[in-house]
Structure formats: C-alpha cells, structure tokens
Amino acid sequence: MKLKSFLPPVMSLVLLLSFVGCQKQDGEPTGVHIYGKIYNQNSNETVAGAMVLLSGMKRGTYSNPAPILDTCYADENGNYHIEFETKDDYLYYKAQAFSPMHLNPSNSAATWEHIYHQGKVHESDHYIIPICWLKINSMKVSNADELGMNNLVEEERPIIIYEPRVIFYRRAPGNQKITLPFFKIYPGQHIPLSIPVQTPAHDTLEVLVEW
C-alpha cells in the first residue's frame, strides 16, 4: 500500500519538471536563425559575396528605420547564414540582400519584404535584380520637338533630349522583359513611344530610338 501511495506523487513531479524544462525562462537567450541562397532575379544564377542585413523591431517600441542587428555575406555558392541571439523580446525581424551589381531596395528596413519571427528557424532565398546598362541611340525622324524618357531606376530622373541625334546611357532592371518609357513631345502634348526589350544581366543593351 505504501508503494501505491508513493508512485503518483513521483510521477506528478517528473511531469511537472519536464513541463517547466521546456518553457523559455525570463532572460534566457533566444533570437532568430535564417539561412538560404541569394539569386539573380528570374534565374538560377547565385550571387557570391552578396551582403545580407538583419534588422529587428523590439516589442513595445517603434523606430523607423529599425536598427540593423547583424550582417553576413554569401559564400562563393550564394549561401548565407545568420544566427542572431538575444535576451530581448522582438516583435519581428526583417532581412534584405544587397549587392553593388544589383538594383538595391531602400536601406530603410521598413520597405523590406522578408519578415521573420522570434525563436524560429527560417529557410529563405532572396532574389535581387541585376543591373542592365542601356545605350540609347536617339535619332529624330519626325516633327516632334523633343524626346523624353521616364526613369526606370528610382535614383535617376526623367530625361529630355533636344538634339536631333544623341547617345546616352541609363540603368535598367536586368534579366526581364520591360517597356522603355519614351515619349515624343509636341506643343501642348506628349505622345507615348513605348519600346519593349529583353534586358540582360550585368551587360549593355543597345537600343535605337527613332522619334
């Protein structure tokens, strides 16, 4: 009878200790673990040496942009790995890949699309847009006064051409089909002159524009 009365309390104690041992204690390190590959957009080509930034927003606080918490670089095969450990409570994390040969998003983490949550392992590939250089050969063949071109990259501004023949360069997103946003300028009106092209990655595309 003594044995029967002793077993239930022992089993209850073991179960209680097992439950407590699985719970995160206050001040215990946690964080986020992210890994994956960096690719050129619209291809299977990996990007060696790309930089990946990790930002995080603490629970109960607000800052824009969110502070950068960690950085890593992709290896020769495009693989990256970030394992950030902290005792603080983060509402979420964001990460973004950057490369000098690519059209990068804003440095503000508020615009980054990749979102991760605390205490989890995430496999996450990033696709970044390679740069294409456009060599524009513009030739006047009509009675339009000027040729205009809207910007394809956020950092550039629209351009207006006055001379009958001009060669100029612009940057564009590579590895994709795009429409070059030209327009002919007449007195009192702008007439669209859209030119579809397939842009290469990290190369120059020559385009003849007759306006």
- Rounded CA-CA distance 48/73 in Å is 8
Q: What is the pLDDT of residues 41-57, one digit of tens each?
A: 988 899 999 999 999 88
- 27-124 and 130-210 in the same fold: yes
Domains of the chain, by residue range, sit at 27-124, 130-210
Q: What is the pLDDT of residues 97-132, one digit of tens each?
A: 999 999 887 666 767 878 888 888 899 999 999 999
Which residues lie across from 207 on neighbouring strands? 136
Which residues in the chain land under pLDDT 70?
Answer: 1-29, 61-65, 106-108, 110
Provide CB contacts within 8 A for 13, sequence distance 6+. none
pTM: 0.74
Per CATH, which fold does 130-210 belong to? Immunoglobulin-like (2.60.40)
Name the architecture of domain 27-124. Sandwich (2.60)
